[in-house]
């Protein structure tokens, strides 16, 4: 059995929170708001963010050292998603959670 460090446990929680936030915002807020919120590039990025966050959490829970790769990619996509959500506007919760997740994943990917 692998050792679950406090930093890894915190990162898993941030990833799962980010997955939930991005998916929920995309499917509820963005679809309802329309316009810039559902432009393909933005919407796909939100779906990519939700997916990589879930995948990253899963890799850490599995206990594979490959989590460093998924965490690195997760940090990059989360930052991109935060910028996109910030540019669209009215998505402060998503921006904040993506940035928290990115910071946590960056720490574990080092």
- Supply the range of the domain harboring residue 35: 8-107
Say how many C-beta atoms besides its own lie within 10 A of residue 43's C-beta: 17
pLDDT over threshold 50, residue 8: yes
CA–CA separation, 107 vs 5, rounded Å? 12
pLDDT score for 65? 87
Q: Which of 2-6, 12-16, 35-39, 48-52 bottoms out in mean pLDDT, i.e. has the lowest?
A: 2-6
Q: What is the pLDDT of residues 59-85, one digit of tens each?
A: 999 988 899 999 999 999 999 999 999
Task: Decide if 17 is inside a domain.
Answer: yes
94, 82 in Cβ contact below 8 A? yes
Task: Decide if 1 is inside a domain.
Answer: no
Q: Which two tokens stand for residue 54?
A: 């879930």
pLDDT over threshold 80, residue 3: no
CA–CA separation, 92 vs 103, rounded Å? 17
Say how many C-beta atoms besides its own lie within 10 A of residue 86's C-beta: 16
CA–CA separation, 52 vs 4, rounded Å? 20
Task: Decide if 3 is inside a domain.
Answer: no
Count up the domains in the chain and report the number.
Answer: 1
Cα separation values, 105 from 8, 30, 35, Å: 9, 25, 31
pLDDT score for 1? 47
pLDDT score for 48? 98
Q: Which residue has the higher pLDDT, 108 or 17?
A: 17
Task: Decide if 13 is inside a domain.
Answer: yes
Q: Is the pTM of this model over 0.75?
A: yes
pLDDT score for 2? 63
């Amino acid at each position: 059995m692998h050792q679950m460090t406090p930093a890894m446990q915190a990162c898993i929680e941030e990833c799962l929170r980010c997955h939930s936030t991005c998916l929920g915002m995309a499917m509820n807020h963005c679809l309802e708001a329309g316009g810039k919120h559902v432009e393909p590039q933005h919407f796909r990025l939100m779906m990519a963010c939700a997916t990589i966050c879930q995948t990253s959490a899963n890799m850490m829970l599995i206990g594979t050292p490959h989590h460093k790769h998924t965490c690195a990619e997760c940090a990059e996509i989360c930052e991109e998603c935060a910028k996109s959500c910030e540019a669209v506007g009215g998505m402060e919760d998503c921006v904040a959670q993506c940035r928290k997740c990115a910071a946590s994943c960056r720490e574990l990917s080092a």
